[in-house]
Amino acid sequence: MYLVTVLGNLLIILVVFSDSHLHTPMYFFLSNLSFADICFTSTMVPKMIMDIQRNSRVISYVGCLTQMSLFLMFACMDDMLLSVMAYDRFVAICHPLHYPVIMNPRHCGFLIVLSFLFSILDCQLHNLTVLQFMYFKDVLISNFFCEPAQLLNLVCSDNFFSNIFKYIAGVLFGFFPVSVIFLSYYKIIYSVLRIPSPGGKFKAFSTCGSHLSAVCLFYGTSSGVYFGSAISQSPRNCLIASIIYTLVTPMLNPFIYSLRNKNIKRSLSRFHSRKLKS
């Protein structure tokens, strides 16, 4: 699964950068999402593979905090990029004549930098909270990596404080991106329903299908783990949801975007033809 995730996302990045037909904001954001997915999965899967081979699940205190920091940074980056891609589809469908002006290269670069800075802020906020508490050792985390919500439960003796922090962080770093996605798709649906021809409606909705699939997979499982730990104490349910959004979703993203996207499929065919000729 890890190899499929890395190779699939690397192929998306390679195809986007090698084909001039895909040098558009939509595919620029998609290539950044693929890069974030590779980094996101790489923060935990190599360590898990080593644990399986050595039959040991021990991780150091520093290693645990490092893993949590990198995980949060790239998870939030995924989060923000999905919101940026929703905004891109909104501009493309609702303001097509102004699309080249609004989504110019400088603006696209600014959105990527803003997403990265927002991710760093999320990471540092969790780090500062965890580091306020005393050093801990010989504790059991009911997951295959240092999951932030479970780590907060361990370092916070007061579950009320832990839950309050989770909800505040969830509102800051989850509600805002989700609001952008919902507002963008509300505007998109409103605009598409005004298109008179059924073919035009289908074409407009088809460009959003891949993105919506990725959003539902990522947000449904990740929010279930993060907020569910404050409500449910079932480690098994949290573990299953963690596997879906940390392993399954990044692996499926290349298939979702390539199999449902004609431009990507044409570019893959051209890329394959060039390789055969060379």
Domain count, the chain: 1
* Out of 34-43, 108-117, 230-239, least confident range: 230-239
Half-sphere exposure of 31 (CA within 13 A, CB side): 18
Closest CA to 219 of 241, 240, 191: 241
Selection from 87-96, 157-166, 205-214 with the highest mean pLDDT: 87-96
Among 107-111, 152-156, 261-265, top mean pLDDT goes to 107-111
Task: Report how far residue 261's alpha carbon sits from residue 190's, in angstroms, rounded to the nearest whole number.
Answer: 23
For every residue of 194-208, DSSP letters joined together read: T-SSHHHHHHHHHHH
The pTM for the full model equals 0.84
Question: What is d(CA 273, CA 278) in angstroms, rounded to the nearest whole number?
Answer: 9
Choose among 186, 151, 173, 180: nearest CA to 223. Answer: 173
The answer to whether 69 touches 123, Cβ cutoff 8 Å, is yes
Token digits of residue 221: 């499982």
CB 192 within 8 A of CB 201: yes
| pLDDT tens for each residue of 93-135 | 888 899 999 999 999 999 999 999 988 988 888 777 777 665 6
pLDDT of residue 191: 83
pLDDT tens for 41-80 read 999 889 889 988 988 888 888 888 889 889 889 988 988 8
The residue with greater pLDDT, 257 or 200, is 257
pLDDT value of position 105: 92
CA dist 195 and 213 (Å) reads 23
Query: Taking residues 220-234, what's their average pLDDT?
Result: 57
DSSP state of 44: T
> What 3-state class would DSSP assign to 150?
helix
Residue 92: CATH number of its domain: 1.20.1070.10
Rounded Cα gap, residues 250 and 41, in angstroms: 7
Tokens of 185: 């798709």
Mean pLDDT, the chain, as a whole number? 80
Taking 70 as the threshold, does the pLDDT of residue 232 lie above it? Answer: no
pLDDT computed for residue 205 by the predictor: 65
What is the rounded CA–CA span in Å between residue 248 and residue 44?
Answer: 13
Residue of 182, 75, 162 whose CA lies nearest to 120 = 75
Question: Which residue range is the domain that position 75 belongs to?
Answer: 2-277
